[in-house]
Amino acid sequence: MKWIDCTAHALHEALLKKEVSSKELVTAFFERIASVDKKTFSYLTQLKEAAFSQADQADQQIAKDAAGPLTGIPMALKDNLCAEGVQTSCASKILAGFVSPYDATVVSRLREAGAIFLGKTNLDEFAMGSSNENSAFDATRNPWDLDRVPGGSSGGSAAAVAASEAVFALGSDTGGSIRQPAAFCGVVGLKPTYGRVSRYGLVAFASSLDQIGPLTHDVTDAAIVLNAISGDDPMDSTCLDLPVPDFTASMPSKMEGIRLGIPKEYFIEGIDAEVGAAVEKAIDAYRKLGAEIKEISLPHTDYAVAAYYILATAEASSNLARYDGVRYGHRTTAPKDLLEMYMQSRSEGFGPEVKRRIMIGTHVLSSGYYDAYYKKGQQVRTLIKQDFDEAFQSVDCILTPTAPSAAFKAGEKTNDPLQMYLSDIFTISVNLAGLPALSMPCGFTAEGLPIGLHLITKHFDEERLLQVAYAFEQCHDFHQRRPQLG
């Protein structure tokens, strides 16, 4: 296997044994990016000069036997994460020319861990989308089939990992934006508990839903990255001061006595037959491993999409009000007055999906509609959380498909927003409840497209989540497969 196809933990061993240097890894990855990124369009910005400088520092640390598990490991950042001195665009024209003056907390923690930043990855504009087709610059393609979408909004990060253009990447997840692209691209995507990882320096979409997490080749790498980015942060009042366990310590595991819940509301008509069959095989695999399989009910699941698109758009309307052409980013030319400057700057800078969500959010927060929509959405959110709380009294982990289908073709759903929103029907409830969840590959369709398995555990139980995921991963080689891009 080539170095670019290796996991972070395999590369760490190779670096310690002096089988390869960090500089050689960075060279190999930029050669790979030059070769295939014109097909996938995973990156918006490449950071070659800075990456080689970081590699030199990493090699010095390795020579001193002072290397941590991520020292010298090349990775990518979703372009809604601030990195000092680097453009942060959120794939939007309204942030044209904006260079971040500071690092997001997760970025500074990865710097301290010795990780090397190859660049910033593409996304749906302001993380609003399920296919990566809403980028203002170009749509990312799925490495397994370039005619299909990689999922969204962290499609660039998922595609970069799947195409071996980075060892791992960070994404953000507001309603499934790490897990759904992970499923479509055949990688592992982890959304931590809300409050486990600092959001400081993440450009906000919906502040009560957003969470940062890793996209990796396997479960072990997800645990390693989560170790590095978790923990209290005084810069984020929603980040909780709780002990951070060594998530890799829970990996060697057995399933005896583990209770897996299968929610009947997630196994319904409309799921692609190949997806359903692959998930059923995964359930059988867990049964053979000794897990107890139990049917459960999450009765308010049907209301999740509606509640989400009220709450998320309301928060987006508020958060995106700051982009007004005054302080940074795009400003229209020669407006006749201040009001026209505001209106034209926003009209020119935002894409159609962002405008749609801002208008929906403004409407649900407006006088006369607040109680009917926003308040009702918050009440439904409470009911959804209570469904999960009750379920976790009888099970340790919940298992569902990640998405109702494998990756769909580019352009297939762009003219039907509702069908696009339904792509996240199995992931949205997790964000409303603030729970940790993970998607991992559990099979492939007849056309060779990855299928995702979705695991959910109770708040701050990422150890159990990783334990259950790792046990299944040891039963197959799905995570070792790579797309053929030439």
Positions annotated as catalytic residues are 78, 153, 177
Rounded Cα distance between 206 and 179, Å, is: 17
DSSP secondary structure, 314-372, as one string: HHHHHHGGG-SSSSSS---SS-SSHHHHHHHHHHHHS-HHHHHHHHHHHHHHSTTTTII
Rounded Cα distance between 127 and 177, Å, is: 8
Q: Quick one: tokens of 231?
A: 């923990």
Match 């660049």 to its residue by tokens.
119
**Are the C-beta atoms of 437 and 427 separated by less than 8 Å?**
yes
What does the angle CA 54 – CA 57 – CA 60 come to, to the nearest 5 degrees? 150
Rounded Cα distance between 452 and 170, Å, is: 18
What does the angle CA 403 – CA 216 – CA 240 come to, to the nearest 5 degrees? 85
Specify the DSSP class assigned to residue 30.
Answer: H
**The pairing of beta strand 292-296 with beta strand 397-401:** unpaired
Rounded Cα distance between 458 and 469, Å, is: 15
Match 């400088």 to its residue by tokens.
53
Region of 158 (left: φ > 0; alpha: ψ -120 to 50; beta: rest) is: alpha
- The answer for residues whose C-beta is within 8 angstroms of residue 282's C-beta and 6 or more apart is 399, 442, 443, 453, 472
Q: Quick one: tokens of 356?
A: 């749609």
